[in-house]
Chains A and B, each alone.
Chain A
């Protein structure tokens, strides 16, 4: 009974925040509601037994996306983008399309609730050979390592695409003194937490994505507090960090194909060290790419 009550409250809160984020009177309130939506979603992931996801959502969905949206809001000239009020008739018509769609979707999803998939047993069955003991990390970096490789490529593509649009004009106002003082003591803790998440990923919830996004959140916080200088693309170690994960992953993939059984099929006994190296490189790359995407770079003198 209590579980049902918790589920119902979480679901209602989630849907109300989603509606509020879209239809709030002003955009600032909408963005704030969307950040709250991310936090409620993280709670729901934890409730549904996916702590890996709850960690990632709390850092990415609520933290980084929130900063991104607020920065975009600040960049837009005030008063632009009129509130976008549409006619009531318009909204009614959209609802008339969506309600039948909901029926169709529910009918399609209903049989899935009873089906059983053979994948979880296969995944836990092969865990002994995967080199790690946490099934989610095993899937991410061993069984479906291709996904992770391509995901790093997508991140790089997004970063390059954003760079094509010119400097981001991310200007930091004079920071609030309390934030400045706080961030100095928070920074080492964030670094420690990121390292812990990375290390524990082999046996418990955590791993490269969570650690990378936590580190990126730390960099963003320090940048906002004005403690960190602007991140510059022309600074070569930063470029190296961004590329490191993808390059190392590709090198491992090619070496496996050349000397071993095939693309990303790790040789016996090598899985654990290879996964560890890839994970460390991927964490650094994800942290560097995400922080560059979010806080952008200062206007370059030569650009």
Chain B
């Protein structure tokens, strides 16, 4: 098994761990973590593909760098939404 295939498999597994969490957990905070894990799994697949050549494929790396910033801003918005939903429920 090549290194690329190994990391591709780890990425797929990580994505599935996130999906499993999303399907089975009820808590908003944990679900947001689960979505983040799924995102990391996709990034891992992309970087494993980028590492097929040396040096790494700059296009894929640049896409993932952009993706990271988008992921953190989406997480921030999701947490705020979850927070206001919680407050709406309790009041």
Choose the segment among A57-65, A256-264, A270-278 that binds chain B (4+ C-beta atoms closer than 8 Å): A57-65
Per-residue CB contact flags for chain B residues 34-73 toward chain A (1 = under 8 Å, else 0) read 1011001001110111111111111101111110111011
Is there an interface contact between A18 and B37, defined as CB atoms closer than 8 Å? yes
Q: Which of A53, A123, A286 contacts B64 (CB 8 A)?
A: A53
| Cβ-based interface call for A213 (8 A) | yes
Is there an interface contact between A34 and B36, defined as CB atoms closer than 8 Å? yes
CA A106 to CA B8, docked complex, whole Å: 8
Known: A80-B86, A151-B69. A86 touches B6 (CB 8 A): no
Is there an interface contact between A161 and B77, defined as CB atoms closer than 8 Å? yes
Q: Which residues of chain B are within 8 angstroms of A95 by Cβ–Cβ distance? A: 20
| Cβ-based interface call for A303 (8 A) | no
**Chain A: number of interface residues, binned into ranges:** 35 or more
Known: A91-B24, A119-B59, A158-B74. A69 touches B29 (CB 8 A): yes
Is there an interface contact between B68 and A209, defined as CB atoms closer than 8 Å? yes
Is there an interface contact between A15 and B17, defined as CB atoms closer than 8 Å? yes
Known: A44-B44, A113-B5. A120 touches B57 (CB 8 A): yes
Q: Is the interface of B mostly helix, strand, loop or mixed?
A: helix
Is there an interface contact between B14 and A49, defined as CB atoms closer than 8 Å? no
Q: Which of B37, B43, B83 contacts A75 (CB 8 A)?
A: B83
Across the two chains, which residue of chain B brings its CB closest to A121? B53
Per-residue CB contact flags for chain B residues 14-39 toward chain A (1 = under 8 Å, else 0) read 11111111011111111011101100
Output the residue of B12, B24, B86 with the most chain A CB within 10 A.
Answer: B24
Is there an interface contact between A209 and B69, defined as CB atoms closer than 8 Å? yes
Is there an interface contact between A159 and B73, defined as CB atoms closer than 8 Å? yes
CA A155 to CA B76, docked complex, whole Å: 10
Is there an interface contact between B10 and A15, defined as CB atoms closer than 8 Å? yes
Number of A-B contacts (CB under 8 A): 237
Is there an interface contact between A139 and B62, defined as CB atoms closer than 8 Å? yes
Per-residue CB contact flags for chain A residues 44-68 toward chain B (1 = under 8 Å, else 0) read 1100111011001100110011001
Known: A76-B86, A91-B24. A61 touches B80 (CB 8 A): no
Is there an interface contact between A116 and B70, defined as CB atoms closer than 8 Å? no
Choose the segment among A19-27, A184-192, A230-238 that binds chain B (4+ C-beta atoms closer than 8 Å): A19-27
CA A97 to CA B22, docked complex, whole Å: 13
| Cβ-based interface call for A214 (8 A) | no
Known: A18-B14, A95-B20, A106-B12. A140 touches B51 (CB 8 A): no
CB distance from B59 to the nearest CB of A (A): 5
Q: Which residues of chain B are within 8 angstroms of A148 by Cβ–Cβ distance? A: 66
Per-residue CB contact flags for chain A residues 99-140 toward chain B (1 = under 8 Å, else 0) read 001100110011011011101100110000000000110111
Identify 15 new A-B residue pairs, CB closer than 8 A, beyond the known A106-B12, A109-B5: A15-B13, A34-B33, A72-B29, A84-B27, A102-B16, A105-B15, A113-B2, A113-B4, A117-B52, A124-B58, A140-B62, A155-B70, A159-B73, A161-B80, A289-B73
Q: List 16 A-B contacts (CB under 8 A).
A: A11-B10, A18-B37, A22-B37, A27-B27, A30-B33, A34-B33, A48-B47, A53-B61, A65-B75, A98-B16, A113-B2, A113-B4, A113-B8, A140-B66, A147-B63, A290-B69
* Cβ-closest 4 pairs across A and B: A135-B58, A158-B73, A139-B62, A22-B21
